[in-house]
Amino acid sequence: MNPAGLELNHVGKVRDTYNHLDVADLLVIVATDRISAFDVVMSDGVLDKGRVLSAMSSFWFERFSGQVKSQSYPKDEIRLEIESQADYPSAWVGRTSFVRRAEMFPVECVVRGYLAGSGLKDYQETKKLFGIEQPPGLRLGSRLSEPVFTPTSKAESGHDEPLSMDEVYGLVGHEVGDELERLSKELFLKAEAACFGAGIVLADTKFEFGIIDGEIALCDEVLTPDSSRFWEASSVALWNPVQFDKQILRDWLEETGWNKMPPPPQLPVSVLASLTVVYSDIYERLTGLALDDWPGEHSSSAYLGERDMSF
């Protein structure tokens, strides 16, 4: 599915990336409705998920524009040129981002404000958070005294692994490593305040950065329900956070006893419907915007893009 002038570059777990054959520094990224968990892509997609990811990332890129350079491509005429082509897929509308090519850092910049997920498991086993001292008695939903930077590797296959700061320095150098930590915490705190104002707790998130024109730039997706944990603020004090993110899928998969290897189990309609609702709800609550006003139309079938979904 290559519109004229575009060439498929990479098929990821969720996004398909295309080169623009005439503009060397331009990438066209299509966020599909695919969803993955435990590094396995599900055979079912979540309706409108690609539109939500694109809309939320666009919102946060704009919100952070005064703090960090963005990967977003500045030339609107390129978008109009591509979207006006007769063979431009209708499913791409609202799922497409036009971005600058970046030299990506081999580090995923995870910031945690609350204890959950792999951080909770590590704390239960070691009483630390990936080597960082924490007070006793923490549990799911406990607020950390300050945001904690817990970077991971970016595995081409398999699981991302936790990185110490010494390992980060070995990959990107001391100056860049410290700047990635500073930027990640700064963006997290700004996002946390915005979320709290909407009655949502930002428990943790993942940022990705690269180099564009010699400067560190915020790249990929930003503060989406795929890359973040969002909780209903009023539920956190009850130690049973109401989730607005992909954890709904992870929890269901854990309950099935699935071995986390392909092929994945068929997802029930109830789980897919819940994901569709919470993804659109968190976008609308955090942005104050209606998903219906974002480009593209609601479809009765998920857009799975270029990925071969056979197992």
Q: What is the pLDDT of residue 309?
A: 67
Intervals of CATH 3.30.470.20 along the chain: 103-256
Residue with tokens 């406990």, as numbered in its chain: 142
Residue with tokens 């990925």, as numbered in its chain: 307
Closest CA to 57 of 294, 248, 305: 294
What's phi and psi for 310, nearest 5 deg?
A: -80, 150
| Alpha helices (H) along 140-294 | 165-172, 174-197, 233-236, 247-256, 269-287
Q: What is the pLDDT of residue 92?
A: 94
Q: What is the pLDDT of residue 145?
A: 95
Three-state DSSP at 56 gives helix
The CATH code for residues 103-256 is: 3.30.470.20
Q: What is the pLDDT of residue 292?
A: 96
C-beta contacts of 2-7 below 8 A and 24+ residues apart: 3/82, 3/85, 3/87, 3/88, 3/89, 4/85, 4/87, 5/81, 5/82, 5/85, 6/82
| pLDDT averages per 10-residue partition of the chain, 311 residues | 86 95 92 96 97 97 95 78 82 94 97 96 96 95 97 78 96 98 98 97 98 97 98 91 96 96 96 98 98 93 86 52
Closest CA to 204 of 123, 260, 277, 263: 123
Does this model's pTM top 0.85? My answer is yes
Question: Which residues, 6 or more positions from 251, have their beta carbon under 8 angstroms from its beta carbon?
Answer: 243
Q: What is the pLDDT of residue 158?
A: 59
Intervals of CATH 3.30.200.20 along the chain: 6-102+261-288
Alpha-carbon torsion (39, 45, 49, 51), positive or negative: positive
Q: What is the pLDDT of residue 311?
A: 52
Judge residue 57's burial from the number of C-beta atoms within 10 Å of its C-beta, 0-12 exposed, 13-18 middle, 19 or more buried.
buried
Q: What is the pLDDT of residue 156?
A: 63
Class of 6-102+261-288 in CATH: alpha beta
Tokens of 300: 């009765």
Question: Which residues, 6 or more positions from 215, have their beta carbon under 8 angstroms from its beta carbon?
Answer: 69
Tokens of 253: 């998969």
Cβ(246)–Cβ(223) below 8 Å:
no
Q: DSSP string spanning 120-182?
A: HHHHHHHSEETTEE--TT--TTPEEEEEEE--EE--SSS---B--HHHHHHHH-HHHHHHHHH
